[in-house]
């Protein structure tokens, strides 16, 4: 079984609206879940908090409750930022300046694993192996 990194919106969709995900994404998540190999970038936790605070993500529970529930639904592994990922995030060629997107893409590149995302700006980077 292969490890994968999941983008923030994939975490949200998997929890709240799986119908928005492609069949390939669902299959890859299910396979990685069996082997405890679904990597979540820690910056995604921050990104979800911001979305909830700005009311761009409306959920009927407080942030901490939502995150604790989400983290218990699958065999997620939290991936922190190390010096190599931080540096790579500043040097990869991407059409976005979004720090979370850059960090998530850099994590997948650094770990040498595919990234599940529907984000076209990330998908345009030739160094990121995408599952969608």
Q: What angle do helix axes 42-53 and 99-111 make, rounded to 10 degrees? A: 160
Q: Are 129 and 113 in contact (CB under 8 A)?
A: yes
pLDDT at position 96 is 87
The CB-side HSE value for 109 (13 A sphere, CA atoms) comes to 24
Query: Can you give the residue range of the structural domain that contains 39?
Result: 4-131
Report the CATH number that the domain containing residue 66 is assigned in CATH. 3.40.50.1010
pLDDT tens per residue, range 35-91: 999 999 999 999 999 999 999 999 999 999 999 999 999 999 999 999 999 999 999
Q: Are 9 and 115 in contact (CB under 8 A)?
A: no
- Non-local (6+) Cβ contacts of 92 within 8 A are 102, 105, 106, 109, 125, 127
Q: How far is CA 11 from the centre of its chain?
A: 6
Q: Are 109 and 70 in contact (CB under 8 A)?
A: no
Specify the number of domains making up the chain.
Answer: 1
- What's the whole-model pTM score? 0.94
């Amino acid at each position: 079984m292969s490890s994968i990194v999941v983008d923030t919106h994939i975490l949200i969709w998997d929890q709240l609206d799986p119908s928005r995900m492609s069949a390939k994404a669902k299959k890859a998540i299910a396979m990685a879940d069996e082997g405890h190999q679904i990597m979540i970038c820690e910056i995604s936790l921050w990104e979800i908090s911001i979305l909830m605070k700005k009311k761009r993500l409306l959920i009927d529970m407080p942030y901490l409750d939502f995150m604790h529930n989400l983290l218990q639904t699958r065999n997620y592994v939290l991936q922190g930022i190390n010096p190599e990922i931080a540096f790579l995030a500043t040097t990869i060629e991407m059409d976005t300046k979004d720090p979370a997107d850059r960090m998530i893409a850099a994590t997948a590149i650094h770990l040498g694993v595919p990234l599940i995302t529907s984000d076209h700006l990330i998908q345009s980077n030739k160094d990121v192996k995408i599952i969608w």
